[in-house]
Structure 1
Amino acid sequence: MSPTDTGTRGPAAPVPATAPAAVSLRGVGMAFGGKTVLESVSLDIAPGSVVALLGANGAGKSTLIKILSGVHTDHSGQVEVNGGPAALRSPLAARQLGIQTVHQRIGEGIVPGLTVAENLVFEELAQRRGNPFLDGRRLLARAREIQSALDLGWSDQVLKRDVTELGISDRQLLILARALATSPRLLVLDEPTSALSAAEAERLFALVERMRGDGIAVLYVSHRLGEIDALADRLVVLRDGRLTEDQSKPFDWDRALRAMLAQAQGAQTARPTDAKQSPLSGSGSGSGETAVSLKGVPLLPGRTPQDLDLRAGEVTGVVGLLGAGKTELARGLFGAEPFATGTVELDGRPYTPRRPADAIRRGVHLVPEDRHADALVPGWSLAQNVSLPFLRALSTAGLVNRRRENALGRGTIEQLGVVARDEHSTVEELSGGNQQKVVVGRWLAEKPRVLILDEPFRGVDIGARRDIGRRARALAAEGAAVLVLSADVDEVLEVADRVVVLAAGEIHLDAYGEDAERDRVIRTISASV
């Protein structure tokens, strides 16, 4: 959705200027190790309003969210709730004062080993005395009530499963339902649609509208400008720890993006002129060298097997909603979940990876959809995370050459503009966008023949998105085949030479140039749902 496309939803209801603040920040500041990350931030969030928070990675958004959530307590300034000073000494204290946060990292909000029902009622279980786990009937009944807030419709069988059996989008919906069960004063949504399908996102948008009507204040953090334009009454921009912009509707997107990135940007980004154009671009046919060829490969059970060629020297963008088969395509090519049938060739030779190590040896690299669960090792340095798949090549007699490992880390910092103290910084010290750059940099450290990027722009700001896209195009210019998979049409159009629309495991469009214009791509997706 573009910044000016609000879909079928009407304009946000105006919020009275005299409405008292549900939550206020008064001169709030925060520093880590002598480095200021927030400086004198003052902000009022009125009941029944939706305030969008924008900012590049490292701007201070995460720190601000953690202060409101009671995670960071050693800050300057004052937080006020309902007009009075509030002591947010812990996450529990913040929740008791009516501030609920749905974090971007979904794994932080669920408790593995407990059922879906127990996770839905977890906050209530944690505050009760005695042993509430003994009364399974009451627990299940309460879980049904909580899930009804989002009309999830999960059966008792689903509620009794271990929560880890839920997909990433269902886990996010679970966390949202649990937060709403407390009737919060302020709900902080950090990249809430990053793991949701279009239909699930629409359900969330309707819920936000309902919360507005119920007088709940919402702080909405997103890099998707269309969502902000559709939902928010007001937007504020953080840059280098300071509030640099505060607008009410209608939003001036050019000004907002200048405030965020310190340079003029169009509200909707066209395909960059420095992108390497495929020899096939604009024609739909040509003589590009085939790097990967799939024949008769089923992407989803029970669906028609598909044929797809990936050509060297170009970026192929695959667009599809949740469940379209994008991740299955990526993981199959990487050997993480081998294709059941069909044939695959790499540079004209049979390619049958049974595990990721087989793919890596043939030069096929994957940036996975969930960087926290599948790509980053907590507690390890930036350099160690980059070098992880290539330790054998960096080792002599079983000992890792730290000098070469650190050089790989420094190379990633330089090539992708990672904002970090140095290559020894742990990944936890980095913002989400810089963590993503580390994952991308890992797979560029050893030049791949095929680079697969599954939702590479999820949760990253526009600047980081362009840095990653620039590196993907540069790699294609050097002769590699690059595959970018995303649910966001604009993200794919920004980086790709060729666009493939995937729905329910089947290809519905494969086009270049003018034949892959945004309206046609969206119409194809709509027609295939």
Structure 2
Amino acid sequence: MPLLHIENITRSFGSTRALAGADFSMERGEIVALMGANGAGKSTLVKILSGVLPADGGMVSLDGRAFAPRSPAEAARAGVVTVHQSTDLVGAAGLTVADALLLNRFADRSTPFFVSRAGIRRAAQAMLDAAGFSLPLDRDFGDLASADRQLVAIARALANRADLLILDEPTASLSGEESRRLFDILLRLRQKGLAILYISHRTADLEAIADRALVMRGGRVVGTFSRPIDFSSAIETMIGRRLDAARPDARPATGPVIFEMHNARLLPTGAPFDLSLHEGEVVAVTGVLGAGKSRLLQAIFGVAALAGGQMFLDGRPYRPKRPAGAIAAGVAMAAEDRHRSSLMPPAWPGNSLSATISLPHLAKWYPHGFLVGGRERREAEQAITRLGIKAAGPLASVWSLSGGNQQKAVIARWEAEPSRLLLLDEPFQGVDVGARHDIIRAIRARSDRATLIATSDPEEAYEVADRILVIDRHVLRPAADGAALSSAIQGISA
């Protein structure tokens, strides 16, 4: 008898059918990869299994019993624990890491009303030790980077006694070393009989741990691939077409220089470096977690200050003190965590696709304060066509879109107005192969600006960029084509 059995599950949102009769089973002690393009139904299926949404039809059984949880807490009590891609609900500013680790226990009525700080730290440290992670227990959760927030979420999930663990893009913000530690933990848990449903767009992750892969398209499971997994065939099944050559033809930097950094230092103790970006050029910066990728983009966008050196935009001195000054000068940026930095909260007005695109341009588009919805709708309609955004229409809530389509909306925001320099921090995080191709095509279609992309995935850098730079200890270094580039990429991936 399988641990989990799903038969003919359906779920619709208005006229949109997210699940159209999905079927599959999982055994104990098995790691199953769930693959699919954004909008294929993966997130909806996970929400049904984790108690966030009910199914419209079909049947789910867990260990031979009907399973239809009405909340994540009920799902967890039944033995199904989910770690979502977004970590916004894992903790909040003002809580320590130890507090965030023990939030579930604080909500348990069996927990004593009075608990000591020392007792909280001991319990939290035991959770981290069991997971194999190292985190500063007394640090404010609000100050943690995305990777550390993800570690808190995973450690807390592993502390639950679960039969089925669902992981949604768990390594999207983790370094190579942290990912390997997580894989070791998951393989040990598998040996103990835990079933793991693993959702990721990174084939390297799936190759490392998956026993088999299920491919979803159009709300159904359309392919099953056993180990050793033929990922080329799996991806072609996922997107419904053959893969094009991944590496674009690198374009020579023949256009005028748009942006320069001279003797720049990101940290007071860091070595100086130079950077030049040409019109029409796409440059990727890659490196290990914490190497300085985000810091570089933040310094250019006016979020963080340079520790030294000069910047020039179109030959003129450029030193923004805040993002508004950067935007006014023609510099745009999509930050790493779109949920925290680019999207209005679900309960707030202005969370539609059209409002998401227009948000930073309101003062320019409506200088007298009178909003006219026509322009917003036109821009959204053009973005839907240009980027292939799968949405019910311009007024659809951006939170109803899949992760890849949300990211397309963020990119469309900065496509709506001309810019001289576009900064993209981890633009493919949680984005499937098909959506990534659409985004890359849109990025490379523009010849009137320079684009600087920060990515922790060398494969993504290789796929999108005309030129690749490696950042190490907050210092930029060129990575030439051929052997030098291969060596740099292997060094980052190791």
Give the TM-score band, short-chain normalised.
over 0.9
Which residue of the partner structure matches residue 248 of structure 2?
272
Which residue of the partner structure matches residue 431 of structure 2?
460
Q: Does 1:299 align with 2:266?
A: yes
The 5-angstrom pairing of residues 26-105 of structure 1 reads 26-105=7-86
Which residue of the partner structure matches residue 450 of structure 2?
481
Q: CA deviation at 1:32?
A: 1.4
For the 8 Å contact 1:292–1:346, the answer to whether it is kept is yes
The 5-angstrom pairing of residues 282-297 of structure 1 reads 288-297=255-264
For 1:119 and 1:483, locate their aligned partners in 2 and report how far apart those are by CA, in whole Å: 35
| Residue identity matched to 1:361 | A
Which residue of the partner structure matches residue 130 of structure 2?
149
For the 8 Å contact 1:169–1:196, the answer to whether it is kept is yes
For 1:75 and 1:186, locate their aligned partners in 2 and report how far apart those are by CA, in whole Å: 22
For 1:430 and 1:270, locate their aligned partners in 2 and report how far apart those are by CA, in whole Å: 26
Q: Using a 3 Å threshold, how does the CA distance of structure 1 residues 300 and 50 change in structure 2: closer, same or farther?
A: farther
Which residue of the partner structure matches residue 471 of structure 2?
502
Q: Does 1:332 align with 2:299?
A: yes
Which residue of the partner structure matches residue 318 of structure 2?
351
Please give the secondary structure, in 2, of the residue aligned with 1:414: helix
Q: Deviations over 1:399-442 (max 9, x none)?
A: 12221122222221121111111111111111100000000010
| Residue identity matched to 1:454 | D
For 1:366 and 1:176, locate their aligned partners in 2 and report how far apart those are by CA, in whole Å: 29
Q: Does 1:255 align with 2:245?
A: no
| Residue identity matched to 1:300 | L
For 2:221 and 2:86, locate their aligned partners in 1 and report how far apart those are by CA, in whole Å: 24
Q: CA deviation at 1:373?
A: 0.6
Q: CA deviation at 1:34?
A: 3.6
For 2:439 and 2:321, locate their aligned partners in 1 and report how far apart those are by CA, in whole Å: 28
For 2:106 and 2:4, locate their aligned partners in 1 and report how far apart those are by CA, in whole Å: 27
Q: Deviations over 1:126-183 (max 9, x none)?
A: 11247535433322221111111223234xxx32333212221111101111111113
Please give the secondary structure, in 2, of the residue aligned with 1:109: coil
| Residue identity matched to 2:260 | S
Which residue of the partner structure matches residue 149 of structure 2?
171
Which residue of the partner structure matches residue 399 of structure 1?
370
- Unaligned segments of structure 1, at least 5 residues: 1-19, 281-286
Q: Deviations over 1:471-510 (max 9, x none)?
A: 11111xx231111110111111111111101111112334
For 1:408 and 1:382, locate their aligned partners in 2 and report how far apart those are by CA, in whole Å: 10
| Residue identity matched to 1:337 | A
For the 8 Å contact 2:266–2:308, the answer to whether it is kept is no
For the 8 Å contact 1:436–1:456, the answer to whether it is kept is yes
Q: CA deviation at 1:378?
A: 2.5
Which residue of the partner structure matches residue 6 of structure 1?
none
Q: Using a 3 Å threshold, how does the CA distance of structure 1 residues 482 and 488 change in structure 2: closer, same or farther?
A: same
Which residue of the partner structure matches residue 368 of structure 1?
335
Superposition misfits of 4+ residues, deviation over 4 angstroms: none
For 1:333 and 1:503, locate their aligned partners in 2 and report how far apart those are by CA, in whole Å: 18
Q: Does 1:198 align with 2:176?
A: yes
For 2:224 and 2:138, locate their aligned partners in 1 and report how far apart those are by CA, in whole Å: 46
| Residue identity matched to 1:479 | D
Deviates more, 1:85-94 or 1:188-197: 85-94
Q: CA deviation at 1:349?
A: 0.6
Choose which of 188, 206, 212 in structure 1 pairs with 2:166. Answer: 188
For 1:229 and 1:301, locate their aligned partners in 2 and report how far apart those are by CA, in whole Å: 41
For 1:270 and 1:32, locate their aligned partners in 2 and report how far apart those are by CA, in whole Å: 34
Q: Using a 3 Å threshold, how does the CA distance of structure 1 residues 256 and 523 change in structure 2: closer, same or farther?
A: closer
For the 8 Å contact 2:93–2:143, the answer to whether it is kept is no
Which residue of the partner structure matches residue 226 of structure 1?
204
For the 8 Å contact 2:2–2:26, the answer to whether it is kept is yes
For the 8 Å contact 1:289–1:311, the answer to whether it is kept is yes
TM-score by length of 2: 0.95
Q: Does 1:447 align with 2:428?
A: no
| Residue identity matched to 2:476 | I
For the 8 Å contact 2:289–2:456, the answer to whether it is kept is yes
Which residue of the partner structure matches residue 490 of structure 1?
459
Please give the secondary structure, in 1, of the residue aligned with 2:89: helix
Please give the secondary structure, in 2, of the residue aligned with 1:137: helix
For the 8 Å contact 1:499–1:516, the answer to whether it is kept is no
| Residue identity matched to 1:492 | A
Q: CA deviation at 1:64?
A: 0.5
For 2:475 and 2:442, locate their aligned partners in 1 and report how far apart those are by CA, in whole Å: 29
Q: CA deviation at 1:220?
A: 0.5
The 5-angstrom pairing of residues 105-144 of structure 1 reads 105-129=86-110, 132-144=113-125
Q: Using a 3 Å threshold, how does the CA distance of structure 1 residues 390 and 34 change in structure 2: closer, same or farther?
A: closer
Q: Using a 3 Å threshold, how does the CA distance of structure 1 residues 442 and 248 change in structure 2: closer, same or farther?
A: same
Q: Using a 3 Å threshold, how does the CA distance of structure 1 residues 323 and 432 change in structure 2: closer, same or farther?
A: same
For the 8 Å contact 2:102–2:120, the answer to whether it is kept is yes
Which residue of the partner structure matches residue 284 of structure 1?
none
Please give the secondary structure, in 1, of the residue aligned with 2:445: helix
Q: CA deviation at 1:454?
A: 0.8
Which residue of the partner structure matches residue 381 of structure 1?
352
Q: CA deviation at 1:107?
A: 1.0
For 1:127 and 1:110, locate their aligned partners in 2 and report how far apart those are by CA, in whole Å: 16
Q: Deviations over 1:327-370 (max 9, x none)?
A: 01111111111213210011111001111111111111111111
Which residue of the partner structure matches residue 418 of structure 1?
389
For the 8 Å contact 2:285–2:293, the answer to whether it is kept is yes
| Residue identity matched to 1:386 | I
TM-score by length of 1: 0.89
Percent identical among aligned pairs is: 41
- CA RMSD between the two structures: 1.8
Which residue of the partner structure matches residue 3 of structure 1?
none
Q: CA deviation at 1:301?
A: 4.4
Q: Using a 3 Å threshold, how does the CA distance of structure 1 residues 210 and 129 change in structure 2: closer, same or farther?
A: closer
For the 8 Å contact 2:10–2:55, the answer to whether it is kept is no
Which residue of the partner structure matches residue 284 of structure 2?
317
| Residue identity matched to 1:44 | S
For the 8 Å contact 1:363–1:449, the answer to whether it is kept is yes
For the 8 Å contact 1:369–1:455, the answer to whether it is kept is yes
For 2:374 and 2:112, locate their aligned partners in 1 and report how far apart those are by CA, in whole Å: 54
Q: Deviations over 1:41-69 (max 9, x none)?
A: 22111111100000000000000000110
Q: Deviations over 1:92-142 (max 9, x none)?
A: 110001111000011122244332112111112211247535433322221
